[in-house]
Amino acid sequence: MKSATRVLVTGAGGFIGHHLVKRLKAEGYWVRGVDIKEPEFEPSVADEFELLDLRFWNNTLQATNQMNQVYNLAADMGGIGYITAKLADIAHNNILINAHMLEACRLNGIKRFLFSSSACVYAGHKQNHADVTPLREEDAHPADPEAGYGWEKLFTEQLCKYYLHDYGMETRIVRFHNVYGPLGTYAGGKEKAPAAISRKVALTPDGDSIEVWGDGRQTRSFMYITDCVEGLLRLMASGYREPLNLGTEEMVSVDELVDLVCDIAGKQLIKRHDRSKPQGVRGRNSDNSRLRTVLGWEPETHLRRGLKITYNWIEDELRKAGHVEEAALAYASD
């Protein structure tokens, strides 16, 4: 019975973790949420929510006590500006979290452990062109991941495999491709591209200009949050033990993403490209062939539909805080 299954979600104060807790509760699971912070925009619905720093060993033992399944989403991470500026902090913090969590789960007899990896593990030399060939799971080797964040993710993938091999712990490994949606951070430096662009568009009067990082021709695919959560539950319930992509194959350039958000907002804005800002790999897209085979499913929310929901939520948050009106007044006074 689901109600008898006790599930731990680490990173439950974050964007994906908060949505996952809500879905697990709706499915009838007993859920403990753990993070160093509470959810930013609404209270957690977890049965228990504990503020714990999982870099410390005793906290991971406490978090995993009397649990059956663990979704390990806790991580020090953010948008491209953050992960390129904090290489040592990110690698150090996340390796501590993940190594301690795996060992605590082993000692506490956790039946299933899901690790949230990233498309940042993929070899950089396969992502040098905007018209990138969609990345298959095997393209992570020979290893050439992104500095800091990518390396620690790839290392923990291997550590999960070692715990399966040595101890028989059922581990699951998911590689996220750019998750977005409402209730996600949209300011402060840790926001991802869809949220950052939505914020900029919402605060910019029609006919004005906005800053776009890079030349705008770099490409990505983006996955809506409800699809992400659905994929997590399906993978956890599956018998698949190897790393698996979780994303969409709907690739767009950053300029196309800006144009799409502007169209949703009903604005015509001029793009000011800043090539001095970090932009990551030139192109990245998910190959979902194995995802379809393993889970018999793939994300189904088209980018425009998901962006419309996300943009409207971000604009509403900015309006409630008075930032839209402030931006309009500042523009009028120039």
Residues that are catalytic: 149
The token pair at 80 is 């491209």
Peptide linkage before 142 cis (omega within 30 of 0): yes
Q: How far is CA 72 from CA 6, 117, 163, 251, in A?
A: 14, 10, 15, 27
What is the Cα–Cα distance from 311 to 194, expressed in whole angstroms? 8
d(CA 272, CA 225): 29
**Which DSSP category does 32 fall into?**
E
CB–CB of 270/209 below 8 Å? yes
Q: How many CB atoms lie within 10 A of CB 189?
A: 12
Question: Do 244 and 119 form a contact (C-beta atoms < 8 A)?
Answer: no
| Positive/negative CA dihedral, 162, 175, 213, 86 | negative
